[in-house]
Structure 1
Amino acid sequence: MWGSIPARKWKPMLRMKYLLLAVFVVALGSLAACGGDADKTEKTEKTDTSSSAANTTGEQASGQASAEQKPTQPVAPPAPQELSGAHILVQYQGSQRAPETVTRTKEEALALAKEIAQKAKDGQDFAELAKEYSEGPSGPRGGDLGVWVQGRMVPEFDEAILGMEIGGISDPVETAFGYHVIMRKKVEKVAARHILIMHEGSMRKPPNVTRTKEEALALAKEIAQKAKDGQDFAELAKEYSEGPSGPRGGDLGVWVQGRMVPEFDEAILGMEIGGISDPVETAFGYHVIMRKKVEKVAARHILIMHEGSMRKPPNVTRTKEEALARAQEVKKKLAAGEDFQALAKEYSDGPSAPRGGDLGPFGRGVMHPAFESAAFGLDVDGVSDVVETPFGFHLIQRYR
């Protein structure tokens, strides 16, 4: 049942409902959200009101400081962008969260970071350098930080990567955690469904799976052929898959390249949209994969929180009934033709309020399911009815 969990995250993610990650932290939030696969020793300890990648309030672009406001017109910050990169962290004695085994001086750490940066610029493989030198948790996976939303890293890190070209290598960047050599990567996302057939030797198999490896492969081949012959993939997943995504038709949502185990990633990246794979073997069993188009919408929202809302600020004291009445009042104003962005600035309790509620673009599997269903079900320029999530009541406007 854990066949599509990223190799680097399968232990912590045993508690998660879904196969994916983070970030995001993510995460970012990317991010991952979650946040996802972010290195806690390298990312900020900021807490935004949006929660993880799998269950956000719709405040995907949250955690941003309120904009400085003029007397009559708030100045809305731009919606933060998603970023992706890898890094090599060189720590020194006294750097934040450095283990006792790190005894080099700050000067020695800077010299080593400069040497590593030059090796990367001279063409040596960045991932291999990260595995050899990095003292961050991402080192064993080649320094990969996945995807995160701008503002989730410490400011020095974000500022450095925002000034880089895709594929570029930074000079050493100093933060409280040490010196970072950074490579900026393209934010590349994929989406798929899969059917997982486990066997007696599969990692994390449930006790009721007793078939041999040979029997599992034969069954996976039979299912792959049925899918290629035109049978509905989602229905086949519901019938056969032994992964947690089975009941939802094998849908894995959207994730960033590099988050799955290598065999899974390599298989899907070689497929066309709508294509069906032959059985793909991983430590978790045999997977039949269908690659999907990455669907995205762009939306704004107005969030009305109440005293029972998840992650509400202390100044929100209204009851749930009062919050619903307030949301319905805003809905009437929208129906009367008032401007959505102006109302978001006036009424929304979410961090996106200064931006007119703008959340930017997002894919499936990022927002809370109720929020996602409403947003993807709207026509462009359409406005939802009141949508309830654990974070409060939302009014959503899709603009792309």
Structure 2
Amino acid sequence: MQATGLPAGWEVRHSNSKNLPYYFNPQTKESRWEPPADTDSETLKHYMGQYHTTNLRADGVAQQDLGGKIRCAHLLVKHQESRRPSSWREAQITRTKDEAYDIIRNYYRRINSGATSLGDLATTESDCPSARKRGDLGFFGKGDMQKEFEEASFVLKPGEVSPVIETASGLHVIER
């Protein structure tokens, strides 16, 4: 394992077209958005936080001007009353809002207890296409997201996780 947590031969690169990090193996020429098998997720999370987020000075102030934008990841659970009750996981979502609340509260407990990370859960459980990017929504500014989502996101400190947030899209847990 390297300091990145990736298996031997793998490295993190940055996509200019999507402005996101991705994983590349120069020997096999394989590239992918998801970490390869046998990745140490905790080491990778720390590496990505250090080298693939806003550069912070020692005093914690961003060195680059992001124009008021922040970066968040989220886990979305849709229900039958969601604006679009379908996802990459299910063609038609039939669960009730109460069932969706039970599911996302369980995810929130698991994330908060340290049993898993939001990114790990989002990859398999989120109803948002951002699941393939561990829930990463990239950088966004005020007015770019639904009001409830934006309000919850902008009060979070980097690394902090929100309680369950409800929007027209469904139920979210957000990590800044």
TM-score for the superposition, normalised by structure 1: 0.27
Match of 1:112 in 2: 103
AA partner of residue 73 (structure 2): A
Match of 1:103 in 2: 94
Q: How does 1:327-366 map to 2 (within 5 A)?
A: none
Q: How does 1:314-393 map to 2 (within 5 A)?
A: none
Unaligned runs of 5+ in 2: 1-12, 21-66
Q: Structure 2 CA distance, aligned partners of 1:150 and 1:122?
A: 30
Match of 1:235 in 2: none
Q: How does 1:1-400 map to 2 (within 5 A)?
A: 6=15, 19-21=16-18, 81-99=68-86, 100-123=91-114, 124-184=116-176
What's the secondary structure of 2:73's corresponding residue? strand
Map Cα deviations across residues 273-325 of structure 1 (whole Å, 9 max, x no partner): xxxxxxxxxxxxxxxxxxxxxxxxxxxxxxxxxxxxxxxxxxxxxxxxxxxxx
Note if contact 1:174-1:180 (Cα within 8 Å) is conserved in structure 2.
yes
AA partner of residue 116 (structure 1): Y
Q: Structure 2 CA distance, aligned partners of 1:5 and 1:84?
A: 16
Note if contact 1:93-1:103 (Cα within 8 Å) is conserved in structure 2.
yes
AA partner of residue 98 (structure 2): E
Note if contact 2:72-2:175 (Cα within 8 Å) is conserved in structure 1.
yes
Q: Structure 1 CA distance, aligned partners of 2:168 and 2:99?
A: 16
Note if contact 1:170-1:183 (Cα within 8 Å) is conserved in structure 2.
yes
- Percent identity, please: 35
AA partner of residue 20 (structure 1): S
Q: Structure 1 CA distance, aligned partners of 2:138 and 2:161?
A: 16
Note if contact 1:82-1:147 (Cα within 8 Å) is conserved in structure 2.
yes
Match of 1:308 in 2: none
What's the secondary structure of 2:129's corresponding residue? coil
Map Cα deviations across residues 115-150 of structure 1 (whole Å, 9 max, x no partner): 111111111122111012100010121101111122
Note if contact 1:5-1:20 (Cα within 8 Å) is conserved in structure 2.
no
Map Cα deviations across residues 57-115 of structure 1 (whole Å, 9 max, x no partner): xxxxxxxxxxxxxxxxxxxxxxx611101000000012111224311100110111111
Unaligned runs of 5+ in 1: 7-18, 24-79, 185-400
Q: Structure 2 CA distance, aligned partners of 1:22 and 1:94?
A: 33
Number of residue pairs aligned between Structure 1 and Structure 2? 114
**Alpha-carbon offset, residue 22 of structure 1:** 6.3
Q: Structure 2 CA distance, aligned partners of 1:22 and 1:179?
A: 26
Larger Rg: 1 or 2? 1
Map Cα deviations across residues 341-383 of structure 1 (whole Å, 9 max, x no partner): xxxxxxxxxxxxxxxxxxxxxxxxxxxxxxxxxxxxxxxxxxx
AA partner of residue 112 (structure 2): K
Q: Structure 2 CA distance, aligned partners of 1:150 and 1:159?
A: 9
Map Cα deviations across residues 211-242 of structure 1 (whole Å, 9 max, x no partner): xxxxxxxxxxxxxxxxxxxxxxxxxxxxxxxx
Q: Structure 2 CA distance, aligned partners of 1:5 and 1:85?
A: 17
AA partner of residue 82 (structure 1): K
Q: Structure 2 CA distance, aligned partners of 1:94 and 1:161?
A: 23
Q: Structure 2 CA distance, aligned partners of 1:121 and 1:21?
A: 30
**Alpha-carbon offset, residue 5 of structure 1:** 7.4
Higher relative contact order (CA 8 A, sep 6+): 2
AA partner of residue 129 (structure 2): P
Match of 1:321 in 2: none
TM-score for the superposition, normalised by structure 2: 0.59
AA partner of residue 109 (structure 2): Q
